[in-house]
Structure 1
């Protein structure tokens, strides 16, 4: 039977489509093969601790890349970020000389001090710098730092010849767990980071507790592209679920504002889990020991040391103003610190006058300060510094 002209065109089109689909599949398979060999079965499209902004460091485990001008991702927000020549978060890319003609103050801490999710100007360190233009303010803070890193990083830059007059160390609630299970020195004395405890997934819960993620499927296990797309879709759904959740939902067991989240509750629960064999008390002792080392280092260099503390949502929800966190570092600072900045009173005062204080002060479904939280801390810091 003769094939009509229309049917012939349809067949030709079908052949072209099939050939192109086959070529696309072959190209994708070849690309996947090359990527798997090139990156040793580690997906280059996913963040494994290093990206355009963040990199590993052989001395103090990890840092920010120098002279970065671009965007960082924190949950649903993508703030524009700058770093200076030292790899410190800053208001612009700039070259930092070893010696400043102004009084120089170096802040160091973890993600709260770095100011994740916000441009430099909205962080409490950036606001402090704006309040004191006569100072050269540097921000050495980076996500997941703890006292062991505070010591190693400041020692590294002092040994490199960086001169500064005062170091202001912001001790985070999470520092105690980090010192317990995330930082240790190897046999050569080098600081290393990891999760040195059995079943780490039970100690460091996902930020997306509202959704249960299905195990990866056949294609996700074999395709970097499929794994990346699947991860992207899940994160988008999780962010939407978090945004629509109530405080009551987020306070349920196992969720981000729950009373049982071990990372946050050690200040009012000495039996909190996931603090290694030595427990919470061992983590506190190690943090104090590392801060003793830092104090000795700075004293030998004639550098003043100040310490600051602040609450997480958990302390505002379940703890008291005179928290164990504030007590420990207030006592440690006696005779050592030029200043001790206790921001618990300012935050508890805000709580007393604002019913929606968690949403007001923190990124929702997160423990980090938002713009208003940073503003509250900065105002209190500036007021205390001027006394």
Structure 2
């Protein structure tokens, strides 16, 4: 049977499409094979503790990359981030000299002090720097730090010759659990980070998602690209679910604002889980010991030490203004600290006059301060510093 010109063109087009599809599949398969071998079967498209901004460090476990100019991802937001030559979050890339021509203050803390989800100018450290242009302000804070890292990182830079007049350490609510199960020294004295507990999957530092993620399918287990796309889709769905959730939903057991989320509740629940064999009290003792080491280190160098504390949503929801967190560090600071910055009163005062205080002050479905939360803390810090 004769084939019409139209049918012949359709057949040729179909063959071209099939050949191109086959070539694309072959190219993708070859690419997947090379990537699996090159990256030792670890997906390079996913964040495994390192990315363009964040990197591992052999002395203090992890840090920010120096002179970074780009974007970071925090939930649904992607702020532009700069770091200086030390790898400290800053207002622009710049070279930091060992000796400043002004009084220099170094802040250190965890993700709250780093100011995740916000550009430097909107963080409380950045706002403090703007309020005191006569000071040289550095921010050594990075997500997931704790007293063990505060000591190791400041010691490292002091040993390298960095000179500063005062260190302001912001102790986070999560520092007690992190000292309990996330940080330890190996047999050679090197600081390690992980989840050092018999059942690490039960103590991961995150609350349950509103959405339950399905186990990876056949293709996701074998394809880096499919795994990445699946992860991207889930994150977008989870962010959308969180954005539409009510406070009541997020206060349900296991959720981010629940009364039973162990990472946040030790200040009013001494029996909180996931604090290792020594429990909450052991985590507090270890944090105090590491801060004792830091105080001795700084005193020997003639550097003043100040300490600050602030609440998470859980302390505002379930705790009291004179929280155990504030009591512990106020008592420890007596005779050691130049200043003790207790921001619990400022946040509880805000709570008393603003019924939607959690949404006002924190990224929704998250424990970290948003722009307004950072502004509130900064205003209180500046006022206390000027006294």
TM class, shorter-chain normalised? Answer: over 0.9
How far the C-alpha of 1:3 sits from its partner, in A, is: 1.5
Alpha-carbon distance in structure 1 between the residues aligned to 2:208 and 2:123: 25
How far the C-alpha of 1:108 sits from its partner, in A, is: 0.1
Distance 1:206 1:218, change over 3 A: farther
Alignment-derived partner of residue 158 in structure 1:
158
Alpha-carbon distance in structure 1 between the residues aligned to 2:2 and 2:58: 74
How far the C-alpha of 1:118 sits from its partner, in A, is: 0.2
Alpha-carbon distance in structure 2 between the residues aligned to 1:326 and 1:305: 17
How far the C-alpha of 1:8 sits from its partner, in A, is: 1.3
How far the C-alpha of 1:287 sits from its partner, in A, is: 0.2
How far the C-alpha of 1:205 sits from its partner, in A, is: 5.4
SS in structure 2 of the partner of residue 63 of structure 1: strand
How far the C-alpha of 1:207 sits from its partner, in A, is: 5.1
Distance 1:208 1:272, change over 3 A: closer
How far the C-alpha of 1:87 sits from its partner, in A, is: 0.3
Choose 216-225 or 11-20, whichever is displaced more: 11-20
SS in structure 1 of the partner of residue 338 of structure 2: coil
Tell me if structure 1 keeps the 8 A contact 2:208–2:254. Answer: no
SS in structure 2 of the partner of residue 287 of structure 1: helix
Alpha-carbon distance in structure 2 between the residues aligned to 1:205 and 1:219: 28
How far the C-alpha of 1:86 sits from its partner, in A, is: 0.3
Over 6 Å off, 4+ runs? none
Tell me if structure 1 keeps the 8 A contact 2:185–2:191. Answer: yes
Tell me if structure 2 keeps the 8 A contact 1:123–1:375. Answer: yes
SS in structure 1 of the partner of residue 283 of structure 2: helix
- CA offset digits 1:90-122 (Å, max 9, x no partner): 000000000001000000000000000000000
Tell me if structure 2 keeps the 8 A contact 1:268–1:319. Answer: yes
Tell me if structure 2 keeps the 8 A contact 1:109–1:142. Answer: yes
How far the C-alpha of 1:11 sits from its partner, in A, is: 1.1
Tell me if structure 2 keeps the 8 A contact 1:207–1:366. Answer: no
How far the C-alpha of 1:5 sits from its partner, in A, is: 1.5
Alpha-carbon distance in structure 2 between the residues aligned to 1:94 and 1:198: 44
How far the C-alpha of 1:208 sits from its partner, in A, is: 5.7
Alpha-carbon distance in structure 2 between the residues aligned to 1:201 and 1:168: 34
Alignment-derived partner of residue 54 in structure 2:
54
- CA offset digits 1:119-151 (Å, max 9, x no partner): 000000000000000000000000000000000
Tell me how many residue pairs correspond in the alignment.
Answer: 387
Alpha-carbon distance in structure 1 between the residues aligned to 2:4 and 2:199: 67
Tell me if structure 2 keeps the 8 A contact 1:204–1:263. Answer: no
How far the C-alpha of 1:4 sits from its partner, in A, is: 1.6
Tell me if structure 2 keeps the 8 A contact 1:81–1:89. Answer: yes
Alpha-carbon distance in structure 2 between the residues aligned to 1:121 and 1:16: 55
Alignment-derived partner of residue 4 in structure 1:
4
- For structure 2, the 5+ residue unaligned runs are none
- CA offset digits 1:183-225 (Å, max 9, x no partner): 0000000001001012222212545610000000000000000
Tell me if structure 1 keeps the 8 A contact 2:207–2:261. Answer: no
TM-score by length of 1: 0.99
- CA offset digits 1:301-354 (Å, max 9, x no partner): 000000000000000000000000000000000000000000000000000000
Tell me if structure 1 keeps the 8 A contact 2:210–2:238. Answer: yes
- For structure 1, the 5+ residue unaligned runs are none
Tell me if structure 2 keeps the 8 A contact 1:208–1:238. Answer: no
Alpha-carbon distance in structure 2 between the residues aligned to 1:356 and 1:286: 36
SS in structure 1 of the partner of residue 180 of structure 2: helix
Tell me if structure 2 keeps the 8 A contact 1:103–1:135. Answer: yes
- CA offset digits 1:154-191 (Å, max 9, x no partner): 00000000000000000000000000000000000000
Choose 262-271 or 203-212, whichever is displaced more: 203-212
Tell me if structure 1 keeps the 8 A contact 2:43–2:224. Answer: yes
- CA offset digits 1:49-104 (Å, max 9, x no partner): 10110000000000000000000000000000000000000000000000001000
Alpha-carbon distance in structure 2 between the residues aligned to 1:107 and 1:262: 27
Alpha-carbon distance in structure 2 between the residues aligned to 1:50 and 1:2: 63
Alpha-carbon distance in structure 1 between the residues aligned to 2:206 and 2:148: 24
TM-score by length of 2: 0.99
